[in-house]
Amino acid sequence: MAHDQQPNDGERVRDGKGRYIRSIESVQRDAAAAELRSERKSYQQIANELGYTDKGEAWRGVQRAKADVAREPVAKLIQTEAEQLDALYVSALEVLERDHIMVSHGKVVKDDDGNTLLDDGPKLAAIRELRTIRESYRKLFGADAPSRVSVDAQQLGAEISALFDRVDGDDGAAAGDDGTDG
C-alpha cells in the first residue's frame, strides 16, 4: 500500500454538526483516486494503491472528488445569484423608502386643505417584492428545504400501520376464518 489507510485517523476533526472535516491529504487522495479511475483502474486496484480500507471506500473517494470539482462553479453561481438578489433588494428598499404622490387620471390628488395625498400602492408593492426576494434568497441557500425527518416519520408510521394491518389479517386467516379449525 502506498499510503496509510487513514492518515491521522485518531486525530480526525469534526465540525459543529459532528461531521468529519476532510484534511488536505484526504482531498488529494480522493483526487488521485479519480485520476486512477480515469485510467480505467478498478476500485479494488485504487483501494490497494491508495490505502483505502476497501473498494467501497475507494468508490466513495471518487464520488467525493467529483463533487469537489462541481463545488467551485456551483459556489460561484450561488454567489452571482445572491449578488443579483442583493441588488434587487436594494432597489425595492429605495422604492419603499420614497414617498409616492397619488395621481388619478393624470392629476395629482389633494385633500380638502390642498395637501397632496400619498399613494401607499408603490410601497405595498415594494414590500411584496422584498418578501419575494427574501424567499428566493432562502431557497438559494436551502433555508426553506423541507424537513426530511417529518416526511420520513410520516412514511414510517404509515408503513408500521400497514404491517400491523397485515399481521392482524394474517392472524384471522390462521385462525380459520373460512369456518375450519385450522
Q: Which three cell numbers stand for residue 173?
A: 386467516
Q: What is the pLDDT of residue 171?
A: 52
Q: Provide mean pLDDT across the span 147-176.
A: 64
Q: Provide mean pLDDT across the span 30-59.
A: 94
Model confidence pLDDT, tens digit, residues 1-22: 444 344 444 456 777 788 778 8
SS3 10: helix
Model confidence pLDDT, tens digit, residues 69-114: 778 777 888 899 999 999 999 999 999 999 999 999 999 999 999 9
Q: How far is Cα 52 from Cα 44, in angstroms, rounded to an integer?
A: 9
Q: Is pLDDT of 61 > 50?
A: yes
Q: Is pLDDT of 174 > 50?
A: no
Q: Is pLDDT of 27 > 80?
A: yes
CA atoms within 13 A on the CB side of 175: 7
The model's pTM is: 0.49
Q: What is the pLDDT of residue 7?
A: 42
Q: How far is Cα 44 from Cα 36, in angstroms, rounded to an integer?
A: 11
Outline where DSSP puts E strands in the chain: 103-104, 107-108
Cα dihedral angle (36, 40, 43, 45), rounded to 10 degrees? -70
